[in-house]
Each structure stands twice: as C-alpha cells, then as structure tokens.
Structure 1
Amino acid sequence: MTKTLKIDIVSDVVCPWCTIGYKRLEKAISELGLEDRVNIEWQPFELNPNMPADGQDLTEHINEKYGATLEQQKASQAQMAAHGEELGFTFDYFDNMRMVNTFDAHILLDYAKTFKKQTALKMRLTTAFFSERQDVSDREVLKQALLDVGLNAEEALAKLDLESEQKKIRTEQSYWKNLGVNSVPTFVFDRKSALTGAQPTDTFKQVLNELL
C-alpha cells in the first residue's frame, strides 16, 4: 500500500508568509508528483485575536506589533511581492491597507473541510485580502468567497454566530498553541515532526522525500 502523508498547516489568512510557504510546499509536491499522496488540512491561528471589528491601519499595526518603521515595512513588502511573483501570487500592498479580524474566516475554513474545499477557500480568502484589496472580515466578501469555491454560502454563514462553532475554533487554536506553535506558518507532518516558516521549496522536497 502506498504511504500517504498528512500535513497540518497552522496558519492565518492574512499572513503573507503563510501564503508564500504554502505555495512553495505546493510547488515541491507538484515537482515530486506527490499530489495523490499528501493530505493537507488547515488549522486555525489568529495572528491578532484581539483585532477590533473595524480592523486597524496596517502600517500602524505592524509598527505597534513589531516596531517596524515605514521604510522597513516597505522593504519587507517589496520582498514579499517578489517572492509572490516567483510563485504566481500577487501581493498588492497599498496605502491605507487595513489589518482585519479573521475569526469568522477560520470558522468557514473549518466548515469547508467537510467538503474537501479547505485549500480552495483558504487561497480564495488570502487572494481576496492580498491581491484584490478586500476586507475578509466583511460577511459579504466571505459570502462571495464561499460561492466562488462552490460552497453553500447560506449554510456556512449560519455557523458564524453559533457559540458551538466559535468554541470549536478557540479550542483548536488552544490545542496548537499548547503544542508550542507560536508563529505561522507551521507545517506539521503526520503530527510527528514540524517545520516553521516559509521554507524554500528544496527544503520541502527533502522532507517529503524522507517521509514518503
């Protein structure tokens, strides 16, 4: 029997390095022809669990959280845009861009899991945020993303206000944090070993070869 590998990706939809890391992993899987042998599941991690509903100016947020000056932020954004371009992903940073609350997005990603549409929804949301200047905490934007990947938007959105669903996501976030995951992306292989950060494609290839 052919061995398959489960990869849990602990991530947030507004995390640029999560997108870069995933695209590099995807490239490694594709170049090794392992699409049928890898099962990816996205796990919730809010970079900013206390982000208010109306979000916060991105420049101000990054300065407050990491102490990065405007010049440092611009340099970092240019670097991410270049990495994205190499991987076929557009990072469109703009003036007055806002960091937003992602809790609802995580509830919807959990819903999408049942229909094997998690990766499709994850990439739809991250594209909406980084490439299309959309607010992924806005329920109309979330509704459109669900429709775009072929999910039942009405059924999915109904879960957002259920206490049981909210509790489930908080419990899952605590589970990963208690395991020591404190930065994203974190890639967990068969729940035995892990890699943190947007590793180069070759590193992912090496790990996939060793594990498969």
Structure 2
Amino acid sequence: MTSQDSQSLDDSVLQIDIVSDVVCPWCIVGFKQLEQAIGETGVSAAIKWHPFELNPDMEEGGENLREHIMRKYGSTAEQSQAARDRLTAIGADLGFDFRFTDDMRMVNTFKAHQLIHWAGPAGKEHPLKMALFQAYFRDGKDLNDPAVLADVAESIGLDRAEALKVLEDGRYADAIRQEEAFWTQNGIQGVPAVIFERRHLITGAQGAENYASIIRQLVDGEAA
C-alpha cells in the first residue's frame, strides 16, 4: 500500500480517497479494516486523505467527550460507555489502542487538517494522519493545540518550527475550507466516506470482509 496523490499513479494502482476526521473513532476503525482488506487481496493501493470536521463550530476549549456525545446523539451514560467498550474491543482486534478517559475532550480539528495538507508534498500525509489518530485516541492529546500538533508533526520527521508557522499564518486555511465544501456539496454528510477509483462511494466502517469484496469486484471489473 502506498499513500500519495492519486493523480500521480499509473493505472495498476487502486485509487482510494478517504474523507474523514481525526477525532472520528469509526474513521480509524474503517481505515484499519480497509488496510486488512488491501493486505488480504494483495492489490496495490494509494490512499489520499481529505478533510472533514465533525464539529466545525466547536468552541475553542472543546467539550467533554462523553457529555458531547450524549448531547449530540441523545444517548445515555450507559449507552456511551457501551459504545466505548465496543470501540475498544474492535480497535484491539485491528491493532489500534483506544484509551477513553472521563476527562477526554472533543475539539475542533480545522488546525489539524491544515497540518495534514501541509505534510502532503513531503510524503508525510499518511504518517501524520495515523499519528494524529494515536495522539487523540491513545494519548488523549488536544488536537486543537498548535504546540501539540507541532509535536506530533515532529514525531514523524517534519519540522516543528515550520509546523507552528503553518498554523500561525493559516496559509492552507482557504484550501481546507474549499475542499471541505467540495465534499459536503457532493453529498458527504458523515464519515468515514471511502471513494474507490473516484467513482464508488462507500460510507461507514464496512468491515474488512466487505472492503475486500468491493476491491475484488473492482479489480475483476477492470480486468474484464
């Protein structure tokens, strides 16, 4: 599997665009399932990540995650805990460590998406995306804090000082707004949204078996 701009790929590589947010648990679950499917089918695939904000209007300090989920979806504390337990178990099976805590906060991710965009030309888009998922769900980091984001960028080999400059001057803010608008205008209202070969949209974490079946159908169709 590779992770680069799909426009630079030849026809032998399966193009997969993923619209997601780094504070969306089902986005990392869906990706890990997709990753398994890619390994199982043996295809060559290029992953391109695209921005989506679950909470574009979230206040600067964020909100307690459990309270946020209960308010947004009308769930009870018991339902919230059951969902956490289920995600933790699913994550463990996929090799991803969810560590939910009572003081975990939901935050806005506009800054994080700008940094991911910046990392693309350096070939670090995918590693940064994975590192941000871990920083939030495993380490409980505030992904709206520029210092935290710069630390994560540095951890995968990017320049920390430049990362801070990117966030300070907002040079990619307009590009992120435009891309987010493009996806919402094309019907993406929830994530993860996985687009195969720029044509076939699959929403939600579908499971490794279903992703593998989709990939095989696409490959067989192209070969026919």
TM-score by length of 2: 0.90
Q: Alignment partner for residue 30 of structure 2, among 2, 8, 21?
A: 21
The question of 1:83 aligning with 2:63 is answered no
1:192 correspondence with 2:199: yes
Look up the SS of the partner of 2:168 in the other structure: coil
2:117, 2:172 within 8 Å by CA — same for their partners in 1? no
Uncovered stretches (5+) of structure 2, i.e. residues with no partner? 1-9, 220-224
Contact 1:44 1:172 in 2 (8 A): yes
Which letter does structure 2 place at the counterpart of 1:66?
Answer: Y
Segments of 5+ residues of structure 1 without an aligned counterpart are none
SS class of match (2:122): coil
Aligned-partner Cα distance in 2 for 1:121–1:145:
7
Over residues 12-49 of structure 1, what are the superposed CA-to-partner deviations in whole Å (9 max), with x where a residue is unaligned?
00000001000000111112222xx2110110000000
| Structure-to-structure mapping, 1:86-101, within 5 angstroms | 86-101=93-108
In structure 1, how many angstroms separate the alpha carbons of the residues matched to 2:181 and 2:211?
A: 26
Amino acid across the alignment from 1:65: K
**How far apart are residue 164 of structure 1 and its match?**
4.3
Deviation, 1:182, is 0.4
Q: What secondary structure does 1:42 align onto?
A: strand
**TM-aligned CA deviation for residue 2 of structure 1:** 5.7
- After TM superposition, the structure 1 = structure 2 runs for residues 31-110 of structure 1, keeping only pairs within 5 Å, are 31-34=40-43, 37-110=44-117
Asked if structure 1 preserves the Cα contact closer than 8 Å seen for 2:146 and 2:167, the reply is no
Letter in 2 for 1:67: G
Equivalent of 1:169 in 176, 181, 197: 176
Tell whether 2:129 aligns with 1:122.
yes
Q: Are the equivalent residues in 2 in contact too, given 1:108–1:157 (CA < 8 A)?
A: no
**In 1, Cα distance between equivalents of 2:168 and 2:201:** 33
1:31 counterpart letter in structure 2: E
2:4 corresponds in structure 1 to none
Identity of aligned residues (%): 43
Partner of 2:90, secondary structure, is: helix
Indicate the larger mover: 158-167 or 66-75.
Answer: 158-167
- The one-character-per-residue Cα deviations of 1:32-73 (angstroms, maximum 9, x if unpaired) are 222xx2110110000000111111011211122111111100
Q: Match for residue 144 of structure 1?
A: 151
Aligned residues: 210
CA distance in 2, matches of 1:204, 1:155: 37
- Give TM-score scaled by structure 1 length: 0.95
Residue 156 of structure 1 and its aligned partner are, at CA, apart by: 2.7
Matched, 1:9 2:18: yes
Residue 184 of structure 1 aligns to a residue whose secondary structure is coil
